[in-house]
Structure 1
């Protein structure tokens, strides 16, 4: 290793000073250890996978004009308004079997209603999967995305087999406006 001598006049008549050297720390081993630890934790840590819900969407076939008649007591419509508000009715909007009723999210709100309706449909139609409750979810323009996710979670929790996300109609928007939910 090369050494640089910057001291004195070559030893002619001066004081002899002791040479002070700066201590050097070799960091090569520490860098190697850091990379080994990073590699170890990268290989042993399982990366968290995002959890998602399967959502089956129908094919858009403009030539298919078949309509399926569903009994009114099997269809429940949920209207989603602003500020975490919900409105639900049973059957058709024009002639509902159960009048539009305001409720809330969670186990004491929409989940309880869904469970009651599932039990009522099972008592009439049996355990046939094709004869279960059908839920139509309609979100307004004022609804937060979180509320839609919450409703989809409720569908998974209550094990509703048939549900759809539909467009909200003008009369339904007017109903939300009348109730102060739009």
Structure 2
């Protein structure tokens, strides 16, 4: 049993003799029991943080290859995620004359570009290509932008060697 011993007081200074006081004993066991009961109660009644999940609709794989639609160059819009939180885009499909445009993740950056593109061509398909050194946060950010801008058609595509060369040539 846990106890706290206190010294007895004999009265102090000379003069009158007082009766000797007995030392008080405080039993700490019930307080420790109460602390553990409260701790257990609060642990069991607390709601834990729920993980946040983003809903992604995946296309159904067609039975035959001829059912797949060919993407038109005029509907294509490619977003490249580079290292060091850099983001680039270009319109159309990759060709030797493709000009890479830098932007950022702000509301006046990629969000504004996506909104303008969707307003001018509602059938736009956004292809998202992440470089090997791009970080996971950037991928989540661009997927959030797809949801915010209401972009219905987008695809996560492996980055090609031509796209990586284009990023390196841009020097940004």
TM-score (norm 1): 0.71
Matched residue SS, 1:135: strand
Higher relative contact order (CA 8 A, sep 6+): 1
Where does 1:119-138 land on structure 2 (aligned, <5 Å)?
119-122=119-122, 132-138=123-129
Q: Which residue matches 1:158?
A: 149
Q: 2:140 aligns with which of 129, 139, 149?
A: 149
Q: Which residue matches 1:105?
A: 105
TM-score (norm 2): 0.74
Paired with 1:71 and 1:95, the residues of 2 have a C-alpha distance of 17
Give 1:160 shift.
1.4
Paired with 1:95 and 1:119, the residues of 2 have a C-alpha distance of 27
Give 1:22 shift.
6.1
Corresponding pairs, count: 153
Cα separation, partners in 2 of 1:71 and 1:113, compared to 1, 3 Å: same
Q: Which residue matches 1:80?
A: 81
Paired with 1:80 and 1:92, the residues of 2 have a C-alpha distance of 16
Give 1:58 shift.
4.8
What 5-or-longer segments of structure 2 have no aligned partner?
1-19
- 8 Å Cα contact 2:83-2:134 kept in structure 1: yes
Where does 1:3-152 land on structure 2 (aligned, <5 Å)?
23-58=24-59, 64-66=64-66, 67-94=68-95, 99-122=99-122, 132-152=123-143
